[in-house]
Structure 1
Amino acid sequence: MPTDFASLRAQFDLPKGVIYLDGNSLGPLPKAAAARVARTITDEWGQMLITGWNKAGWMAQPSNIGDRIARLIGAEAGSVVMGDTLSIKVYQALASALEMNPTRRVILSDIGNFPSDLYMADGLCRTLGQGYTLKTVAPEAVLDAIDDTIAVTMITEVDYRTGRKHDMQAITERAHQHGALTVWDLAHSAGALPVHLAQCNADFAVGCTYKYLNSGPGGPAFIYVAPRHQETARPALSGWLGHAAPFAFDLDYTPGAGIERMRVGTPPVLQLAALEASLDIWDQADMDDVRAQSITLTDRFIAGVEAACPTLTLASPRDGKQRGSQASFRHPEGYAIMQACIAQGVIGDFRAPDILRFGFTPLYTSEQDVDSAITILAKIMETSLWDRPEYKTRAKVT
């Protein structure tokens, strides 16, 4: 049965008079989330107190919700667990992969990767010493850069600035041909497009949930470990909840079974409750339908902007199959233009040095939203509305 996008849109609490094209940075509030979190606070925390870990199932949340996300990223049951931040999960996956490939010392990534991923990789190399290095190349050069020196590739499937999409199948196959492991960052993939981790034979993957998966600001991350690696991958961050028997209070660490060993800190129970409310909406969506509608909406926006705003230059791939669920345009005054858009009720965001970024999420973005956003952006450009001092003052978050 085709996905009913009008029904899904009605399940989000979208402010009146706002066209929200920034779900690729922070997803909007599902209407059911407030009540779900309130119930967790009042009925569970309030009435059960510490017994909520057992009675309300808090301790099992990371694995149970991990299985729900697994469906959206083409992962096997029991291969995904929730918790901590994306940067921590990147560190965990990289450290495990390097230890599993001990004769090699090079992490391969690309210069379009999200800086935090690169920071974590560089920091890990500095900690390890012994010749470990991070090698970065242009995004289009990744495939050819994979050789017998590479220990692990660390690639974000969809470029956060331009939306350019890497070929997971091809890169994973090349890495394995050369004896390398793969770590995939799905921050701009999970909930944006179909992902096929098991089919592509990926080794590790990580991702956040506060973008397309709508868990709210600061929502927890997830980590995927292929079942074939789960009993050999050693978690570098050996947290209490990743122990085989945390309540035995053993002074020596024994890794938990399977994906459970990748747990580190206490589960963020309230944030996971909000995520559950969003996943209830996702259970009503087919990812292939979402992808098709995403390409339709983004193509419509690109065509409209190029026709009406000739001074904006497309930064995203023109072919919808080669990009994620966003459209990015370049302009020297990109920051001011985006601030003018936001003031006029079209919310996107800006990425340095010159990119205006617009996200398209079919769960709540309609063709009418797209057309109205084009009209507003065209007026801003035609009248140079952006050329005001108040739109040029940089805020901490862009």
Structure 2
Amino acid sequence: MATLRDDHPRIRAFLRAKRNVDFAEWRLNISMLASDAFFQAVEVDKAWELRDCSGNVVEILSARDLLREIAVSAHYCGDPGVLFRDRLERDNPTPQWPYVSTAPCAELAMAQGDACHFSYINVSNLVRGDALDMALLGEVAALLVRMLDAVTEVTVRGRSDALPLVAQKRRIGIGITGFADLLLHLHLPYDSHATAILAAEIAEVLDFHTKRASVALAAERGAFPAIAESRFRDRSWVARKLEGKLLRIDRDQWNALIDDIMRYGVRNASTTSMPPSGTSSEIAGISKSLEPYISLRDRDGMLFKVFRDLKLVQDKDDDENRYDDRLRKLPFVSLAQDIKPLFHLMVQARFQSFLDDGISKTINLDQNCTVDAVFELFRDAYRCGVKGLTVFRDNCLVDRDDARL
């Protein structure tokens, strides 16, 4: 991921970088690192100062005009995205190493020389009866902590010079996949408040059980080396996500865990993330990460297999239109472009409420969506408290004349 701060003198050229490129050859995602101050300036239509590396003001422009530059380019080709820099830094456990960019799909922020080992749990396989088995989710998450810490140790021993912060932080990121399939099992539409609550419950269970497993490893083998200078020594920072958000783990359990963190530390500077899981989910035949399905006519027929396994359909009709119509009549079938953008943001924000790192999230938009709508969506993302957002307008890389609105 290539990033540039919002007050850089060449920020406008950066935002326009992908408007006239060969997308068959381009392999780089771009995002603007946006500060709270920038979006506060957008809210009140305030002037925005661009500064050189010495801090000197070199240009003054409208903050809203700069956000519109982002909206125009994102409407055209899906890039740039926006990363909310101050939110990322507030959750940075080791602020002595400020974040400078992210992994390619913005699943976590990264400092120079940083890295993270990921894994994820197929939550659709953890349905028991008519509910997600949260206890089983916690057990699986704890096992993955031990596995990923072992993988981290292999990396530390083999590439400590190339990736120095791996040894210092021992970051791991456990997330989920198969969320859309889970919702089908539970007969929940993606765009519902019940789904948003479920997302927060999953995030809380993941965070609690992965932290508890990491504390146990710290007691056995020692905490991550940089913990003495980290925010894990600040009890209020460790407990920052608890107020008013507890759904599945009671406060006494959380307080006991925080006591143990103060006593033993944690083995891993971070334990939870939301890796995009695109290719591996396709191989496994499950829906991707936290995303809804994009189409009923998915490439490998995965969605039909889910419907068939749930006995919602018998055999696929030769007439795909009739097949689509039949499935669309089910009230809990939610496709990405049919979901209102604010529900995309709500589900993302609820997952993010407990996870350590930023979430890879792209909102798929109808091809007739306007630049103004994209502009407002970025503002809504800031208001919702998420850490980053990318949008992708259907057929935008094909219908390029219309994309130049």
Could you say whether these structures have the same fold, taking a TM-score greater than 0.5 normalized by the shorter chain as the test? no
The alignment's TM-score, normalised by the length of structure 2, stands at 0.25
